Structure formats: structure tokens, C-alpha cells
Structure 1
């Protein structure tokens, strides 16, 4: 079975683990066409393509990159280069990109012209109904009429698809974690300073300023891993508290588990802001769509704390602590509780390990391959009504503490 995958955007590193699992399956051949991805992603995919004979990777030059416009929706494949790398008829076209993206419009245009009956699956992460300016709403509606099966990453993303008019089949397939790489340390941390961790972009909407204040109030150490416009603020905090605040440059996938294991708690203190760097008169809310680092930390046996913004509470479930976004005192309280209550930290550690297992990339790969096989053999693959959802392997995640289904 041949799957053609298109992907755009700088934040695509998390797909590498899934691609690695998929191309190890003897029944699959993958062709990945990508544009405007990070240098790390590009290099990793080139290496993977050399090692996996059934994976073909084609980096394509782009127009209107994310760095220029501030949003992945504007990324365009260079048409001539796209035409040159598109393979012979695939069995399924899988689009990593929202329905309104220009790159999605291009991928669906190639499908319409070359193989109009090939089924289409679509990744979806938006967890808030955002009204883009013309022509994006028109492209989005056109895409909804073409997509055979959607893969929203959370129940909220599924709700947004429905609110915007998508009526086709859909299965919730969360972003995953490689539980072989992200695993607990052989021995627990003992006799070391209580260390709060942060991994991500050092930007205002990630709540970095709140975190710096909270660790100060809680008299805790901080290890911040990442890059961004607020790196200087972390550096200033490190100067005020020598040896208590550390800034580590962005870590690659292989190095991140070791950094996580050096933390006593991982915090995702995101806040919601409105982005206006695409068009000044169009406000795009930035609300945490998943919080993948929470799952990675849980898989490493690290308790997690997150704000109540976006999908953070859904991802944490009963496996961590949440607090009202922007409330520095509440965040400091959660950190102090974890520092002073070893029993609470141990319970959250065990709950986190069980919850992380539900987010394994192997489960996502199983679900996606099952759906792709069903679509491949459907008598009318271009009719979404004929492609019913399979058993809810990912759509209803079980609560890691009770084993009962969590509605999605």
C-alpha cells in the first residue's frame, strides 16, 4: 500500500517517530513531500530515507514561508517542483496541514487532476474556530468536500471540524510519543535540588514570564530548554540566581529524554494570546493545541503541571496538576506541593506512566493503517459516506486510573 504524505511548517519534528514506525511495516511504501520544514527535520528525513528502502523523501522549495508571514497556512509548494516529485498513483493521500492551508489546496489540486478517486486523509489540530480572510474559508470548504477521513488530534479539534462544516468520517488520533526512547531513568532522583523544567519555545504565549516568577516564589531551581524571544529574560534570571536557573539550547530528539529525566516536574504554563503578525486586522488566537512535551515527560516518569489553556487539561487528565492560566501564585503553589509531598509526586509519576502508554506512536500507526486499508478497499473511496469509522481504537481513550472510557 502506497501512502503519499504532504507536510509543511517548521514544527514538524514530532512526525519523525511516526514515519519511522510506518516505513518499518512491510506492507507500506511512503512518499513524503515536504516544504519549509526545520533543518533538523529535513536532515532526519534524509537519513531515514537512506536507511529505509520503502520511504521516499522529496524536500520541495516553497513560496511565502512561515518565517515571512507568521503562519503555516500561507506556505506554498513551488508548483513546478511539486509536479516533478509527485509519484505515480498512490493508494491514499495523507495531508499534514489544516484544511484551509494553501499547501492543502495544492495537494488536493494534484489529486483532482491526476487521480480523483484516491482517498484523502487529513490531519487536524485547530482547537478554536478561527475565521481566516479570503480565500482561506473558500479553500477550507472545498477541502471538506474532498477529504475522505479526518484525523483530529483531540476531541476539541474534532469539534472545530464539525463547527466549520466537515461532515465526513473522523477518528481522533492523538500525537504520540516513542515510549522506547522516552522512558524513566533507571534510578529515581535523590539528594538533588528540586528542579522545575520547561521545554519549548521561549515566547510570551508559552507563559515563560509567569514561570520565572513562580520558581522564584517557590524557591526552586529551573532548567529551561529551548529558544525564542524571551531567552534573554531567562538569562537575566540566571544572573540573579546563579546556579539556580539554567538555560539549555534547543535539544534534538535523542537528547531530550536525558534532559527530562533531570527534572522533578515539567511545567507547561501556556497563556492564550492573539497573534496579529499575518494581517494586522486579523486576530488569530494562539491556544495550546496539544502539549506534546507533557506526554514525553510523563513517559519519562516526570510529574507534570500545566495551565488550563487549550488542550493541556485534556492531555494531563488525572496524571498531573493544573492551575488557572496566568495565576503565578497558583503555579507556585502547585510546585511547592510537589516539592514537599513525596507521596503526591510518586502517585502522579505512576499515573503519568500509564497515561503516556495510551499515547504511544505505535497505537496511532495501528489506527491510521487500519483506516488506510479500509479506504483502499472501499468500492467508492472518493465518497466519504461509504467510509465509516473503524472501531474506536483512539477515538475513546481510557482513563489511566479507572480504565473507563473518556468521551471524545
Structure 2
């Protein structure tokens, strides 16, 4: 997805290489990605590609070039020892200068839009995120599990842009005492966000790594993108993008058009029935054969509320339909009953750049089964169409399933 480019050092000592990844649109705000101690390896290139997919022109500069150009290490014991040696010999001040030179190189690229630039660094690059915030004019700097920041807090007053720091609770390289010092000095600043992720270790965001923790990595990434979006863009109308996707799904019923609104490898997960698809091939198959063309003709969505964030939408709605066809994704293996159904639903729709990345769709399956006659609600704490009706009219009776509700009337 990316290519190598040359960056001129600001001190006149030569040039160094960097991995450049461009968004699908070919242009966007510029972001420097600060490497771990393993150089511009496959993981760092993957991170740059991810940020390009988010809409950024992402550049990973070779920060070890003054010691040894072109470092590309794996994660073996020998690689780790070599990486530690390089890190210990790195001139941190020169590394920040090289990051600033990378900003200059980005500004000169015709693909880079907007004047403000961002920085996202990991491990060694996470420490450099703090120094980038204090020593350059970066609009937003994000650091993941940076080491040694607690020894550099005398520079805190020089932070001009936005700074986001992600820490791991079990990180021995930045323990609780170090995090406390950082929080005491930086936590009250309006332009600083500090997050600690419980029960995770250093490098929790390194995909495929031994300490990778998907929930923490996803939450941290969402916070990082939100901060970057606010500071430098790009700004997308997520609501309009979602509406177009829904139109292709339910009105036009066009599978290729639906898939065109999504990233190259999206997924959909209907939580109650575990139906959907992961990856373009499987999701396209699912849409074509089990969703888009299989829904009853009268199926409609009644919007209730919508919350739009920096990277995702949470949609609350009522789905209405008559069960005149087999609905594989909601009622697999159940023959049409002809029953009318109304159910509250909730969708969490994640975007990557201007494309849908995934959908998590939730509903009360028990309510569906009650309404089509497959579940007798007698004696069970479940309800049928009443769940949808009460969502639309909060004045309808509450607590009708609670046998003890009447007992508390006089208490």
C-alpha cells in the first residue's frame, strides 16, 4: 500500500528514509508515525497503512538512521536485544529534530491537506510523542506506552497542541509511580488526555504481539482518531454515509453498491444470532444470499435516536416487518409465519475514514420469538411487541413483568 521516500535532515547531515502510506482518496491531513524500537518493520508499516485507511497521509521516518539505516527487526530474543541496544544509543534530541524534519517533508507533499499535522508514536515513539508535543508545532501528538516521560516533565509548560497518552496498567517500563507523576503534572491541563488501560501490558496495541489486547487497542485507537479528527481532520459526514449504506441495503437492495460503502475487509455481526460475515468475500455472500434480497418487502426502520462520534454512529431504531419470507439472519431455519413484528434495535456502526468498517447489531431475540409464536411468554420475564411500543411511548405501564411491583406501592 505504501512506498519509501527520502526526508532531508534539518541539521544538514544528510537524508533518511521513511515509509509513506496514502489514503484511497490520494490526499488527506499528514501524520507522522513514531516507530517502536524495532525500526520500520512490518508492524509499523501496517500501522501506517491503517492510518492511511483512516484518511491520513502517514509517514514512518527511520529514527535509527544516524546509528544504522534501514533497521527492520522482528520480535525474537536476538532482535529484542539488538533493539534495546539501538534505543539506548539513540540521541533523543536528534530524533525529535528528525520528526520535525518529517513534518516539513509532509508539508511539502502535494497529497497533504490542511496546515496542522499529527503524530502517533508507540513504545519509543510514545516517549517521543511527549517531546514532539513540547518541542514542535504539532497540532496533536498521541503516545502509546511511552517510557521515561516522568523524567521530562520540566518541559510540560511548552506543550502547545493537543497531547494524548495511552498507558498500560501492568507496564513495567512505566509503572504506577511513573504514571502518577505524569498524571499529577499533566492531568489537569485542558489540552492533555491520559488513559490507563487495566489488566494490559506494554505493547497492548501491537497487533499479533504477545501482549496484544483487542478491547484496549480498539478503545485507544478510537480515542486517538477522535483527537486527531478534532485537531486536523479529516471531517466526514458519517450520518450521510450511513444513510446511503442503509438505502442500498433496504431500499435499492443493491449488494455491490452496499459493499462499495465499506472498507476492503469489513464485517457485520448480528449479535443475538451470530449471523453476518467477516471479510469482503464472506460478507458479500451473506448480503447477496441471506440478507439484502431475503428481507420481507414491507421491512422498514423507524429512527428513534442517533449519536454521531468521531469514528462511529450508535443508531437506535424500531424495525417493523411481516414475517412473509424466511429471514435467515434473524430467524434462521424458521419458516414464514405471516406474523407482524416490531422490535427495538441498536446498531453500533464503525467507520474507518469515509467507509464503514463494521456493524454490531443488537436486538431482543426473545421478543421476536414471542411475536411469531415460537415462545410462550407465560411465566417468563420476556415481552412481545410491547417492548417496541414502550420505546415509542414511555407512558405505557412499566414493571408489568415484576410480580412484586404491587407490593412496593405503599413503601
Q: TM-score, normalised by structure 1?
A: 0.30
- Higher relative strand content: 2
Q: TM-score, normalised by structure 2?
A: 0.30
Which structure has the higher relative contact order (CA within 8 Å, separation 6+)?
1
Specify the structure having the higher radius of gyration (Cα): 2
